[in-house]
Amino acid sequence: MLVPLSTDQVYDGSRPHWVEGDACRPVNAYGASKQEAERVVQAEWGPHSVVLRSSIIVGPQPRTPVPRTLFLQFVDGALAKGPADFFQDEWRNPVYVQDIVAIVVQLVREQAGLAAGQAHPRARTYNMGGPDRLSRVDMALQVAEARGHG
């Protein structure tokens, strides 16, 4: 079973709360590359793939450092230097990394049941997002409050 992480940036962002059956219209290269990756995965892995489209993933720093700055760390670093500008017309539903882990674990358990003959697997795509719809400004304000940036 393959569970690739994709992005909500496969949609054009013209409205909130996209559903999995909505047409993809990426507005940037990142979204287009993720849409193409989804296509390849589903073509190659078929019913043994589940694509998870997430919004911004938030959570603690990984145990193993990543070679780039993660969004919350970027915001924290920018605010530590003083006032900073953030987009207020881009809305996202940040999702906690541990929630994604729980989803993947559940999918693996379901796949194990399918392999045991409970049902036939099928390719699936799910959108994931947290409960709050926030602009980049809203996210920056929350980081500023949590980290004590005045």
- pTM, 2 dp: 0.82
In 3-state terms the chain splits into helix, strand, coil percentages (rounded to 5) of 45, 15, 40
How far apart are alpha carbons 111 and 94 in whole angstroms?
27
**pLDDT tens track of the chain, all 150 residues?**
899 999 999 999 888 788 999 999 998 999 999 999 999 999 999 988 999 999 889 888 778 877 777 777 888 888 888 888 887 888 889 999 999 999 999 998 888 776 666 666 678 999 999 999 998 889 888 888 888 886
> Domain residues of the chain, as ranges?
5-147
Helix (H) or strand (E) holding 91: strand 91-92
Whole-angstrom distance, CA of residue 36 vs CA of residue 134: 27
pLDDT of residue 86: 80
C-alpha–C-alpha distance, residues 71 and 66, integer Å? 12
Q: For domain 5-147, give the CATH number.
A: 3.40.50.720
Strands 5-7 and 50-54: parallel
